[in-house]
Structure 1
């Protein structure tokens, strides 16, 4: 393999969906290094069953050093990752394309532009993560200057960011989950009202009692609840006790679960990236995606 060969390096199911969209948009086959988790495995199986243009899929723990060294073009799922920063600083890939890691896409665009520090939003970083940040930033900026860095995103970065990124050499291409929609099987019968789960209680940013109250408000007189992949059994048990709630475990990102919907859905969520992704995935179905705000959400510290 040559140093210009592409490799998708992903750490979450949504990042893996982004890699499938990139492969479809570029009509090429992409090998994947995916973090070794049940959710990544299930998502990869579902995408392959739908015809994703993936080559070899390699599960990994930590940093997949050998695979990264063999490929010169990295599709990076999480540009804020400390592991990415370290690997980029050491291996210095020739080309970088950043996929979406949820709503952090906008913050990462501002990071590339030097408008904010190279740190994950709402996290107080320390240790090796902060040491590697300036070296990774220098590498990314050099690649942009050589027209070998960019973003592949479903998020609207705004004209100001797009112009500024172009001025610095970054290529930005938007997608609207066209491949995901086109190759989705019929969505399971979940009913008309869907409540999306959140990991805020897991992250210590919301009390479980407050979260259950939020679920009860969002569900109204009844709804199907699609859990977030990082919810604990304790949280799911508490949600399942809410009157009118039916917890539906799918093991897949909600974008894949709902992509085949053929009837109007009402999707209710806390503020999250799904308010951007799902309107694209559900375009043309008459679905609505509505944020139901909550109180007592705290900043995270790590």
Structure 2
């Protein structure tokens, strides 16, 4: 197998496509595949096999379904704007293989490969962008994506889930605010000030008008601004392709990158993991792709959990199995997506709130409210009481 450090293998991308999709993470690429599956079925006038259990989306606001969108017709080009992180690159390579297996073309761009890479990448994509009738993006907060959006003339823009960030994106779009990730403080640095006109232009592009439609394809409960179409992502492709999984008798715990993003104190997080494992009998820890190797070593040594580093997004790993009958998580994307991907399998998903005392002094003022909203809006999950971590304390010096 080619190293995750290298580009994804495959044939050249070929001629320009009427639908371009830009992704920077494995989850974004998974959700592009889900969107393509749903859109192909809709364009053919047929329901997608494995349609969602209606109860999971009860009460979620919907715009009337559009019928004037460009037919997909298999003419989709997925452009991977490759990141630096080795784990992310490895998962993206695997997802790129799955996309090619579905008949989609994939173009791997070393968009961060050196000082001249951004200019080269944008220049090479300018032509395809101007010719695309529809553009799909996975991360509207990405400066790379925002820059590319300024070049497009597409009449249809689609935003697919990049996890819980979709909640903040829709809220900021509704309020007419500039796009800022929830875990970052709002003050603009020097680079942010220089980039502000591009970001403002991208936000205008993501606002529908009489020349351009905007669709949000999401598994999150969102109430979009007027004119934005919401399409439910119920993971129909995942459920139609994989599973049902074999269930183990154990309990699995899902990791989070809240420590790596500076939101949660490392010691508090380790204590909470230890308390959850002890209370609920967890035996495996599914690591987030951004979790540091040092933190995972400490979890394995101090808590005794088996560390699993998935090669694919957790929704696919869980659907393929084996997976525990109970899956524990902190507030994260999976409390919204796993109940959909695992619908009908008998797996129970439980979520443990983040106690405000776990937050670092550097955490954004919005962090507490955002994390509470992630948990509070999750459907078909079991809420766990907050963990009294001071009574557990994992030693800071644990190797």
Q: Shorter-normalised TM-score: what interval?
A: 0.7 to 0.9
Larger radius of gyration: 2
Aligned partners of 1:14 and 1:191: how far apart in 2? Answer: 27
Aligned partners of 1:140 and 1:232: how far apart in 2? Answer: 34
| Structure 2: gaps (5+ residues) | 1-14, 41-72, 83-88, 113-117, 366-399
2:347 is aligned to: 287
SS at match of 1:131: helix
Aligned partners of 2:234 and 2:32: how far apart in 1? Answer: 13
- 1:171 is the counterpart of 2:223: no
User: Which structure 2 residues correspond to residues 151-166 of structure 1 after superposition, within 5 A?
Assistant: 151-157=216-222, 161-162=223-224, 165=225
User: Which structure 2 residues correspond to residues 60-209 of structure 1 after superposition, within 5 A?
Assistant: 60-62=110-112, 64-65=121-122, 66-67=124-125, 69-71=127-129, 72=132, 73-114=134-175, 116-124=177-185, 125-126=188-189, 127=192, 128-141=194-207, 143-157=208-222, 161-162=223-224, 165=225, 167=226, 169-184=227-242, 187=245, 191-209=249-267
Shifted more, 224-233 versus 26-35: the winner is: 26-35
* Contact 2:21–2:136 (CA under 8 A) maintained in structure 1: yes
Q: Please state how far the C-alpha of 1:186 moved relative to its aligned partner.
A: 6.1
Aligned partners of 1:101 and 1:231: how far apart in 2? Answer: 17
Q: Deviations over 1:49-104 (max 9, x none)?
A: 8x434223323314542235314221100011122222222444432100101111
Match of 2:102 among 23, 47, 52: 52
* Contact 1:24–1:52 (CA under 8 A) maintained in structure 2: no
* Contact 1:147–1:170 (CA under 8 A) maintained in structure 2: no
Instruction: Sort the Cα spacing of 1:88 and 1:237 in 2 relative to 1 into closer, same or farther, 3 A.
Output: same
> Which 4+ runs in 1 deviate beyond 4 A?
185-191, 261-264
- 1:38 is the counterpart of 2:90: yes
Q: Please state how far the C-alpha of 1:208 moved relative to its aligned partner.
A: 2.0
Instruction: Give aligned pairs, total.
Output: 290
Task: State the superposition RMSD in angstroms.
Answer: 2.5
Instruction: Sort the Cα spacing of 1:55 and 1:225 in 2 relative to 1 into closer, same or farther, 3 A.
Output: same
Q: Please state how far the C-alpha of 1:39 moved relative to its aligned partner.
A: 2.3
Instruction: Sort the Cα spacing of 1:192 and 1:130 in 2 relative to 1 into closer, same or farther, 3 A.
Output: farther
Q: Deviations over 1:132-174 (max 9, x none)?
A: 2221122222x443342211111121xxx24xx3x3x222211
